Amino acid sequence: MFNFPVPYPDELIYSVVARAGIHAGLMSPKQLLDEVFANRKVIATPDFPSHIKQISELYPQSLNLDVVNIIYKHTIFPLYAPFVPEDRRLQCLKWMTGQSKGAVHLALGAAASRVKQIRFFRYCPECLEQQFSQFGEFYWVRSWQVAGADVCPQHGSLHNSRIELHGRHRHQFFPLRPDVCVGEACEFGGAYDFRVAELVNELLSASPVESPSFEQWGLFYIQLAGDSGCAKGKNVLHDLISEKVTAKWTTKWLEKNGLLPLGNSNSCWLKSIFRKHRKSFSYLEHIVVLESLLDSGWNFQSVLNNVSSLKSKSAVNCPVDFSEDRPNQDTLDIRSSWGAFLKEFGVKKARFSGGAAIYAWLYRNDRAWLMKINGQYRRSSRSENKRVDWKKRDQDVLATLKDVHQRELNDLEGPRRSRNWYLDQLGPKATVETNLGKLPLTVEFFEKYCESVPDYQIRRIAVAIRQLEVDCEPKRRWKILRLAGLSDERIRAEAAQYLKEVSD
């Protein structure tokens, strides 16, 4: 696509694509997808868009708008990147470069986060006036679309538009126009919202850096609890932390952003964040805790530098690989004992049949050999389901399908007799559909009697011809196509040949 718009500061790449449609005068959403992506199946995703490489290739190299720069400057990916492990951050960048199919939302934790995404695109009326006077058009700013940051740092409360962030029109990019700016102002939370907006903007403006590991985040929060007087020895005082959080943030604000209840159960997010991290926490959860326990004026840059400087235990005490060393006699004896357990029980049962101590020793001291030998004796734990007589089930299904076929044999009208259509006639079809590998007679029936698309089109043509003969009208080609509900674009080659033979 020629003359693709250059992004404005802090503009969503979603907004850039929408403006490209306006500049090119494209009224059809599908036509815009063809021009920009050459793919009509691209989903218009505001937060974590994919196919960024195709957009990057529309710009000259002099603009320095490569894939990573576009993702970090024109999506909300930087809000989540520092809080996931480095391998996951890189994988998400790879998905957003090409095709993700929703994997980025899952990998970053946005899909199942307590902090729910906003429903409508948001805007600042005063900023819109500045945009129009400076650029002559409007665009969606990414910092407006972040849950928890409900204000414009310069002008105050944001307003909801009429455009849903994830609406029914999945393939349409909606530009920011005055006619969609008719929503009510977002609920104002006072100084909280301005502080959150400030910290969110800091994260959004961050440069691409390596993410700390979960272990480093866990060590940081344990250290933070001790430095803030919320620990006694190695025990974190969760009740005291909860008191500090509720003293800093109002219950109403926490509830509005999905961060309540606090400390009511052992699985509460506020307790989990001070334990060993096994999952990522959202940017808003980090902001709530850090703002409650750190001195005023803290920033994410210093926090991230502190977290990255912590040495994880796994880095200090790496498991030793003895694969290159010559084992001593004690090691050989232990290996022999574990081998005897493996031959008798297999890997899993050996650990619960008296071999647990041997397994633990080998895991700590001879792991390479242990993993290698276990791979040779691994047994499947899956058991064969003998509750169903699949041969009889196959015969019963076949008989039902034959009855359906015979009943519909002389009915030329109706939908296409595809495999799914036949399965629907069986009633609950899940069992049959998921076990076709055990139903050879049923599969053979489908291969013989299922109606292909050309066959279905020929049947519709035959019905149309019969109708014309009943009405004593000439069998003109255009009339047959119209009655059959077909067109030159959709008709298959076999059906087109049949139509050529039967039409006048």
Instruction: Write out pLDDT tens, residues 281-328.
Output: 999 999 999 999 998 889 999 999 999 998 755 443 333 343 445 678
* Residue 339 to residue 222: CA distance in whole angstroms: 42
Q: What is the pLDDT of residue 182?
A: 76
Backbone angles phi, psi at 43, to 5 degrees: -90, 135
Going by pLDDT thresholds of 50, 70 and 90, the confidence category of residue 230 is: very high
**Domain-embedded: residue 2:** no
Contact 338, 355 (CB under 8 A): yes
Looking at the structure, tell me whether residues 181 and 38 fall in a common domain.
yes
How many C-beta atoms lie closer than 10 Å to residue 136's C-beta?
7
**pLDDT, tens digit, 9 for 90 and up, residues 334-345:** 888 888 888 888
CA-nearest of 241, 127, 148, 243 to 199 is 148
Q: Which domain holds residue 407?
A: 390-451
Query: What pLDDT was estimated at residue 188?
Result: 65
Same domain, 31 and 130: yes
Q: Are residues 38 and 146 in the same domain?
A: yes
Q: Are residues 112 and 166 in the same domain?
A: yes
163 phi and psi, to 5 degrees? Answer: -95, 125
Range from 255-259, 310-314, 321-325, 411-415 carrying the lowest mean pLDDT: 321-325
414/303 same-domain check: no
Q: Which of the pair, 221 or 408, is modelled with greater confidence?
A: 221
Residue 202 lies in a domain: no
> What's the helix, strand, coil split of the chain in %, to 5?
55, 5, 40
Q: What pLDDT, in 10s, does the model give residues 145-177? A: 998 888 888 888 899 998 988 888 889 999 999
Q: Decide if 8 is inside a domain.
A: no
The number of domains in the chain is 5
Q: Given its phi and psi angles, is residue 231 left (phi above 0), alpha (psi -120 to 50 degrees) or beta? A: beta
**Residue 206 counted as domain residue:** no
Whether 232 and 243 have beta carbons less than 8 Å apart is answered as no
Q: Is 179 in the same domain as 216?
A: no
Question: Same structural domain for residues 166 and 235?
Answer: no
Q: What mean pLDDT do residues 430-450 have?
A: 90
What is the rounded CA–CA span in Å between residue 70 and residue 10? 10
* Residue of 197, 225, 216 lying closest to 284 (CA atoms): 197
Contacts of 65 (CB under 8 A, 6+ apart): 6, 7, 56, 59
Distance CA 240, CA 247 (A): 11
Q: Is residue 446 part of a domain?
A: yes
What per-residue confidence (pLDDT) applies to 385? 64
Residue 381 in this model has a pLDDT that exceeds 70: no
8 Å CB contact between 363 and 370: yes
Per-residue model confidence (pLDDT) at position 76: 93
pLDDT at 450: 92
At position 484, the amino acid (one-letter code) is A
348 and 248 co-located in one domain: no
pLDDT of the residue at 241:
92
- Same-domain status, 345 and 459: no
How much of the chain, in percent, has pLDDT values that exceed 90?
44
Is position 77 within any domain? yes
Check whether 380 has a pLDDT greater than 70: no
Q: Are residues 34 and 180 in the same domain?
A: yes
Residue type, 167: G
Residues 251 and 336 occupy one common structural domain: no
Examine the domain organization and report whether 127 and 270 are in the same domain. Answer: no
Radius of gyration, CA atoms only, the chain: 32
383 located within any domain: no
Flag whether pLDDT at 198 surpasses 50.
yes
Q: What is the pTM of this model?
A: 0.62
Q: What is the 8-class DSSP label of residue 15? A: H
Alpha helices in 377-418 (DSSP H): 390-407
Helices 283-293 and 238-248: crossing angle in degrees, nearest 10, is: 90
Question: Which residues are CB-neighbours of 386 under 8 A, at least 6 positions away?
Answer: none
Q: Is residue 436 part of a domain?
A: yes
Question: What is the model's pLDDT at position 116?
Answer: 84
Band (452; pLDDT cuts 50, 70, 90): very high
pLDDT at 314: 43
